[in-house]
């Protein structure tokens, strides 16, 4: 199976996927750590894909999304963005709206606490 096929299968069979450097329990870059931290704190169930473990996936995800950086967040097969976009969406409440619209469970109180802490 090609890297593109693996990526397509991963993003279509999981409601939320984070392509990142490291894992959700042990991120290996600050940007991946920030996005994983947001998702973990908000109690969102997600699949994590460590791009450092496979060079074909690492390059393949950049080609798949036409986005040059990692991490990359997908919800219901749709590319959402990287660290800055996910952070901005979290602080504005847009991420909450996207999760609700997509039927993804999350802890609303935790999301509110993130916004309060960054107000």
Question: Could you tell me which residues are beta bridge partners of residue 74?
Answer: 17, 79
DSSP, collapsed to helix, strand or coil, labels residue 80 as strand
Q: Pick the closest to residue 37 from 50, 26, 53, 51 (CA basis).
A: 26
For residue 83, say whether it is annotated as part of any ligand binding site.
no
Nearest Cα to Cα of residue 84 among 15, 40, 34, 118: 34
Q: Is 17 helix (H, G, I), strand (E, B) or coil?
A: strand
Distance CA(52)–CA(54), nearest Å, equals 6
First-to-last CA distance in the chain? 46
Binding annotation:
29
Binding annotation for [2Fe-2S] cluster:
29
């Amino acid at each position: 199976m090609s890297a593109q096929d693996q990526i397509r299968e991963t993003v279509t069979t999981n409601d939320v996927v984070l392509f990142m450097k490291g894992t959700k329990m042990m991120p290996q870059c600050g940007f991946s750590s920030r996005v994983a931290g947001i998702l973990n704190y908000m109690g969102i169930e997600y699949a994590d894909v460590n791009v450092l473990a496979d060079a074909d996936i690492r390059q393949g995800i950049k080609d798949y999304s036409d986005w040059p950086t990692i991490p990359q967040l997908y919800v219901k097969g749709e590319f959402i963005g990287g660290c800055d976009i996910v952070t901005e969406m979290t602080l504005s409440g847009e991420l909450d709206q996207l999760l609700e619209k997509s039927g993804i469970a999350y802890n609303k109180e935790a999301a509110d606490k993130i916004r309060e802490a960054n107000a």
